[in-house]
Amino acid sequence: MDLAVVDVFTALLVIGLFVVAAKWIRARVGLFQRLFLPASVIGGVAALLVGPQILGRASEALGGPELLADGLIPPTVLEVWSELPVLLISVVFAALFIGKRIPGIRDIWRIAGPQVALGQSIAWGQYVVGILLALLVLGPVFGLPPLTGALLEIGFEGGHGTAAGLADTFEEFGFAEGTDLALGLATIGLVAGVLIGTVIINWGVRTGRIALDSDGDPVAVARASTEDDLDDLDDREGIDPTTSSTDPLSVHLGFVAIAIAIGWVLLELLEALELATWGGDDGLELLVHLPLFPMAMLGGVLLQLIIDRTRRAALVDRSLINRISGAALDLIIVAALGTLSLEAIGGNLAPFVILSVAGIAWNVGAFLLLAPRIVPEYAYERGLGDFGQSMGMTVTGLLLMRIADPPNRSNGLEAFGYKQLLFEPVVGGGLFTAASVPLIAQLGPVPVLLGTSALLVFWVVLGLRRFGPGSGTAAVDDDVLGGSSGGP
């Protein structure tokens, strides 16, 4: 289908209409507020309901007017939506670290080491569980390809954006329905993460594992926080537009563009290196299948390092970067859910349920088993961040941490933020997440299973020995975080 610029413009406007409508619905439906569902998810589901797959088919089955045969959304809009996530995911990942101070690895490890070990353990375990299911159940019983082994980490740890951003990669390896399954897993994980996380917090309070403040309603406080961006943990003051000849938003869009451009150059160089070495003459081709977004994230890191080294940090307003990233993610979620293939999920319903149950069971079990043994102090308050992130969204982890620890006694929010610097470049949408599908396709599932199992064991053992009970390691450094490091 040939698309014009006006079609793209119209498609973006339609997404905006769905987001506004979803915001209105969320404000009036208490259930959506209690579940902390973002307006973008509600809008995406609404778009799916009034699209050709549900409203269109229902109208056709009931003999409705031909006008509704394709639902309420024009086919050209859906065509644009199907392409948007692959492009916009680079904006989201490029903006991850722009405007954030990049500390030294030693400082990151001292502050967030337990979080890094716990988060890495949960993430690599998702690969181990997923690939084992693919080898033992999903392949032999349902005839699904080994690539299904990557769906748990892509859907749960990566979330909607990562799942949608890998659409071209799945299609390239003949498993287009993998995108829809991963998006479905991300949606299940989002809802289950909030529900199960709230149950864990209530259980932790009753058993004395979580010391909840009695002042105010922490759930109400957390709900109020979701009206704004929960990722704004280190926002700087907004730049005064009267002192600039250019609108600050335009300048910050330029920063994101520079990060993406750096990522593109890095990707091109790596692809050229691969073709000149191990990838030539029918060799192992991996980097040529790598999407742009993880390299755009590295581009953002390099850009921020340059900004830090040249002492130009005042030029970047993190709140504006967050606005750009948040808007791009909203567009991705609405577009991806609005074009979600119900046939792909319905045709693989049993495997989808198996993956959902197995993924949730692993995330819950790993959190309950490992958090108190790896995180030396405030284990549940801080570990809930990693649990929430493992269920599909970073914002879910931040939300659960704010419910469990409203005054941030544990300094968990700072540690969680630092942890992302040693986490997201690799998994949760990082380089390995993007490369997992090509790796399984090129090397086979067994070598990838062995490698991810070794990494799982490494991070669990490191976490237990370095930070676990009896290790003598303090959770955080008072001088670094400026807070109490005492236990509850």
The CB density around residue 71, as the number of other CB atoms within 10 Å, is 22
- Least confident stretch, 26-40, 257-271, 341-355: 26-40
Closest CA to 55 of 41, 42, 68: 68
Tokens of 70: 């394709």
Residue 313 has pLDDT above 60, yes or no: yes
pLDDT in tens, 356-382: 999 999 999 999 999 999 998 889 999
HEC readout, 19-69:
HHHHHHHHHHCHHHHHCCCCHHHHHHHHHHHCCHHHHHHHHHHCCCCHHHC
Percentage of the residues of the chain whose pLDDT score is greater than 70: 87
Residue 170 has pLDDT above 80, yes or no: yes
Residue 124 has pLDDT above 80, yes or no: yes
Segments making up each domain of the chain, as ranges: 5-477
pLDDT in tens, 176-215: 999 999 999 999 998 899 889 988 988 888 888 887 655 5
Average pLDDT over residues 92-118: 87
Tokens of 393: 């969204």
Tokens of 468: 């676990």
Confidence of residue 449 (pLDDT cuts 50, 70, 90): very high
Output the pLDDT for position 222: 53
Q: How far apart are CA 465 and CA 460, in angstroms?
A: 9
